[in-house]
Structure 1
Amino acid sequence: MSTHSDRTEGTEPAWVLVTRREVVSRITDKSFLLGTVLMVVLLVGFIGFSAWQDEKTETVTLGATPDAVAMASAIVDGAPEVDDQVKVTLVELDDDAAAEAALHEDEVDAWLHPVDGGWELTSESSEQDALTDVARTVVRQQVLADNAAGAGTTVEQLEAGSAVSTAFLRGDAEKAAVAEAVGFVFVFLFYFAALIFGMQLASSVIEEKQSRIVEIIAAAIPLRHLLAGKVLGNTALALIQLLVYLVVGLVGLSFTSYKSYVPALSGPTAWFIGFFLAGFIALACLWAVAGSLASRTEDLQATSTPLTMLMLVMFFGGLSLDGRSQVIASFIPPVSAVVMPKRILAGGVEWWEPLVALGLLAVFAAVTVAVGERLYRRALLQTGGRVGLRQAWSAAE
């Protein structure tokens, strides 16, 4: 058993000093700061581009010969009702030759003219997707109205009973799309933080072990305090970075057409932070164990392979699971750390389900820390090669 005092000569426990060292050394590191700033810039840029795209109006020029002016005028007038981000401008052309010349010289984006069985929209070298969609809808409506009038009826009577609508048991299509997108962000952020900070944590453990510095540290403080400080320090750093990304994301979202969803996302985001903390602490402890089992940096790939596979299962499970399998996985740690927040986003979750899932995840984290602490202490001071799990578990302290 360790005979070290849990406190240093001062008044602070040893784990507090280690935690502070981890946070200060990393938060003042240029690569950490640059990486965080770069991610924020990319996030702001993506949100800004999305907002710009949402507000952007595409202006297209439609050419029409005399036999198509009436239909082209209908397209110009009907475009805002079909797609309010498409503005069509009409250019009247004398004949087919003038239309082809206008296309070649980029005076018009497309030329509308009648053909056998309907209408044709001719462009110079590539299809005008937005204009094509608008033209198809308006032309269909116009022709249907003319045919209905010729038959002595109306479009409404012809289309009576033909409408097909969609419905969702939970929310609507736009809400479901937003929930799916934010759910992906949650899963990605968890995977990104656990992988980056976990690898750095394991590498720092190996460096201290390989340089024999850990033997000096072990003579001054208990190894469990060293482990606690490393895990808590990296957890604090990961949480700070996560909060920065979430705040930037939510604030940025408030400037887009999806701003009405921001209040509804606040609750799921808070739940995600709770699940993130419990899941990250468990995985950080396992990363520290992976580092303690290695004697050289080259050994880390082998000692961390099971952990890397677990994280991949969490990542792809969080993205792909649905239905009953998603419900079951949302209660199984550590996968529940990413699956339950996605379910909360989608809605339809009973109030007790997140509490139970978070409780199970917290128990898993506690057990992982207890087991990991024993493996870490017994493997950290063993040198001369890679240490196996069984060897570390049974080794004397």
Structure 2
Amino acid sequence: MSTTDTNRDRQTGEPGWLLVTRREVVSRITDKSFLIGTALMVVMLVGFIGFTAWQDERTSDYDLAATPDAVAMATAVADNASAIDDKVSVKLVEVADEDAAKAALRDEDVDAWLHPTDDGWQLTSESSEQDSLTTVVEGVVRQQVLTENATAAGSSVEQLEAGSTVSTDFLRGDAERASVAEAVGFVFVFLFYFAALIFGMQLASSVIEEKQSRIVEIIAAAIPLRHLLAGKVLGNTALAVVQLLVYVAVGLVGLSFTSYKSYVPALSGPTVWFIAFFLAGFVALACLWAVAGSLASRTEDLQATSTPLTMLMLAMFFGGLSLDGRGQVIASFIPPVSAVVMPKRILAGGVDWWEPLVALGLLAVFAAITVMVGERLYRRALLQTGGRVTLRQAWSSAE
């Protein structure tokens, strides 16, 4: 903080933490790297959503070769392809014989060749399998053969398939939301990890810079160190939340232009919960990053002082992605992992109304305790410049 800021504080009576918060916000939003990074992330997000929308609307056209003995089956495939996959269109190409079919494949005049074998049917392609076409052909051939066999046996396909349907269900939530929850849950976990890591590293680095240059001694003479910590944490939290809101808004708006637009209203509630959990969890981690910076006396020390915090964040990241079942339920109430696990459970559905409230309350208590403990460590380590400070030294040293 400059002398001008100090004088302004004395003249206006503005609390020191507010001045520091303003300085953190202004310095970051005028930083080209921050703006460019945010813009690039938005462009990537828009590009991904645009690509997804394009893929959803895109129809795959296939040319299917068939010799005279396979024309009837290939015709059935062409006529019924859209019933199995509305994004697949099949055009029949009749060829004289096997050699002609292979020549058409080599010349890339057709995408695949359908022909009978001793025990069924075979779909031959030039060098790589056509996944969508294979799925359609398998479905049509199965239906055609079942119909023929049922007729020969004096029965019907419906009678043969009676009682063979297998459906899925969930004790908590439903199957339709499960796949959406998995994808959006990954985005939530990634955004939390990304923001906490990037903003945390920058916060810790700014603490080290002020400590190494001895500017912090001038600041300490003007405002209490707890105000300095509060300003840094609040400033970075505000920036992280604003950036998160930009990403979420772009994501929801973009999603409304895809085939998943029907899920947008259902995602709004869980998104609000995620922002609330993000806020509480980020405050706690931001305070710990400030402590990591205060324990170091130079930039090279940050890797050592931040290792426990980095391991904690990795545990949150992989725990948020991999936990399921009872383990996920338990973790959704344990701070700080609950910051990423409970929003995923809310997305999947089947969560009682009180569970997010309890989890958020526990996370808020954890954040409050972290801030109190972190404030003590920060104050007692910040002005020690004789080398790297251990947690024990910071906790027991005199102020």
User: Considering the TM-score relative to the shorter chain, is it more than 0.5?
Assistant: yes
The unaligned stretches of length 5 or more in structure 2 are 1-5
Q: Is the 8 A contact 2:319 2:337 kept in 1?
A: yes
How far is the alpha carbon of 1:119 from its aligned partner? 2.0
Provide the secondary structure at the position in 1 that maps to 2:10: coil
**Counterpart of 2:184?**
182
| AA of the residue aligned to 1:248 | V
CA displacement at 1:239 relative to structure 2: 0.6
Output one character per residue of 1:50-85: Cα deviation in whole Å (capped at 9) or x when no partner: 111111110000111222111111111111111111
Letter in 2 for 1:289: V
1:264 aligns with 2:259: no
Distance in 2, matches of 1:180 and 1:136, equals: 28
Name the counterpart of 1:307: 309
Q: Which amino acid aligns with 2:280?
A: A
- 1:93 partnered with 2:95: yes
Matched, 1:317 2:319: yes
Structure 1 residues 247-297: Cα deviation after superposition (integer angstroms, max 9, x where no partner): 111111111111111111111111111111111111111111111111111
Q: CA RMSD in A?
A: 1.6
Within 1, Cα distance between the matches of 2:181 and 2:97? 52
Q: Which residue of structure 2 lines up, in the alignment, with residue 381 of structure 1?
A: 383
Partner of 1:65: 67
Query: By how many angstroms is 1:126 displaced?
Result: 2.2
Detail structure 1 runs of 4+ shifted over 4 Å in the superposition.
4-7
8 Å Cα contact 1:8/1:14 also seen in 2: no
One-letter amino acid of the structure 2 residue matched with residue 377 of structure 1: R
SS at match of 2:273: helix
Matches of 2:10 and 2:369 in 1, distance apart?
27
CA–CA distance in structure 1, aligned partners of residues 181 and 310 of structure 2 = 27
Partner amino acid, structure 2, of 1:61: D
1:275 aligns with 2:277: yes
Q: Cα distance 1:5–1:38, how it changes in 2: closer, same or farther (>3 A)?
A: closer
- 1:203-250 deviation line (CA, Å, top 9, x unaligned): 000000001111111111111111111110000110111111111111
Q: State the partner residue of 1:41.
A: 43
Query: What SS does structure 1 have at the residue aligned with 2:170?
Result: coil
Say which SS state the counterpart of residue 9 (structure 1) adopts: helix
Q: 1:163 aligns with which of 162, 165, 168?
A: 165
The letter for the 2-side match of 1:118 is G
CA shift for structure 1 position 127 = 2.2
Residue 114 of structure 1: how far off its partner (Å): 2.1
The answer to whether the 8 A contact 1:62-1:72 is kept is yes
Higher mean Cα deviation, 109-118 or 186-195? 109-118
Tell me if the contact between 2:193 and 2:317 (Cα under 8 Å) persists in the aligned partners.
yes
Aligned partners of 1:6 and 1:13 also within 8 Å: no
Per-residue deviation, residues 7-46 of structure 1 (Å, max 9, x unmatched): 5321321111111110010111011011111111111111
In 2: Cα distance, 1:342 partner to 1:352 partner: 16
Query: Which SS does the other structure have where 2:388 is aligned?
Result: coil
Match of 2:140 in 1: 138
Moved more, 281-290 or 92-101: 92-101
Corresponding position of 1:124: 126
- Whole-angstrom CA distance in 2 between matches of 1:5 and 1:315: 44
Asked if 1:240 is matched to 2:269, the reply is no
Larger mean CA deviation between 88-97 and 185-194 belongs to 88-97
Between stretches 360-369 and 168-177, larger displacement belongs to 168-177
Corresponding residue for residue 251 of structure 2: 249
Separation in 2, partners of 1:146, 1:272: 54
**Match for residue 30 of structure 1?**
32
Q: Which residue number in structure 2 is paired with residue 365 of structure 1? A: 367
Q: Residue type of the partner of 1:258?
A: Y
Residue 114 of structure 2 corresponds to 112
- Do the aligned partners of 1:6 and 1:14 also contact (CA within 8 Å) in 2? no
CA distance in structure 1 between the partners assigned to 2:14 and 2:46 by the alignment: 40
Give TM-score scaled by structure 1 length. 0.96
Question: Separation in 2 of the partners of 1:339 and 1:5?
Answer: 46
Instruction: Report if aligned partners of 2:293, 2:302 keep a CA contact under 8 Å in 1.
Output: yes
Which residue is 2:3 aligned to? none
Amino acid at match of 2:97: D
Task: State the alpha-carbon separation in 2 of the partners of residues 233 and 389 from structure 1.
Answer: 25
Whole-Å Cα distance in 2 between the matches of residues 73 and 271 of structure 1? Answer: 52
CA distance in 2: counterparts of 1:387 and 1:279, whole angstroms:
25
CA contact (8 A) 2:380 2:394 kept: yes
Three-state SS of the structure 2 residue aligned to 1:342 is helix
Aligned residue type for 1:362:
A
Aligned mates of 1:49, 1:294 — CA distance in 2:
45
8 Å CA contact retained: 1:5, 1:221: no
* Residue aligned with 1:193, SS: helix
Please say if residues 227 and 373 of structure 1, whose CA atoms lie closer than 8 Å, have aligned partners that are also in contact: yes
Q: Which residue of 1 aligns with 2:105?
A: 103
Residues of 2 paired with 1:126 and 1:332: CA distance?
48
Question: What does the per-residue CA deviation read over 1:332-354, in whole Å, with 9 as the maximum and x for residues that have no partner?
Answer: 11111111111111111111111
Indicate the SS of the match to 1:386: coil
SS at match of 2:63: strand
Q: Aligned with 1:90: secondary structure?
A: strand
TM-score, normalization by structure 2: 0.95
Structure 2 contact 174–349 (Cα < 8 Å) conserved = no
State how far apart, in whole Å, the 2-side matches of 1:264 and 1:130 are: 30
Structure 1: gaps of 5 or more residues: none
- Cα distance in 2 for partners of 1:137, 1:356 equals 48
Residue pair 1:254, 1:260 contacting (<8 A) in 2 also: yes
CA distance in 2, matches of 1:288, 1:56: 49
Give the letter aligned to residue 99 of structure 1.
A
Aligned to 1:343, the other structure's residue is in SS state helix
Cα distance change, pair 112–325 in 1 and its aligned pair in 2 (3 A)? closer
Secondary structure in 2 matching 1:385: coil
For 1:115 and 1:360, locate their aligned partners in 2 and report how far apart those are by CA, in whole Å.
Answer: 64
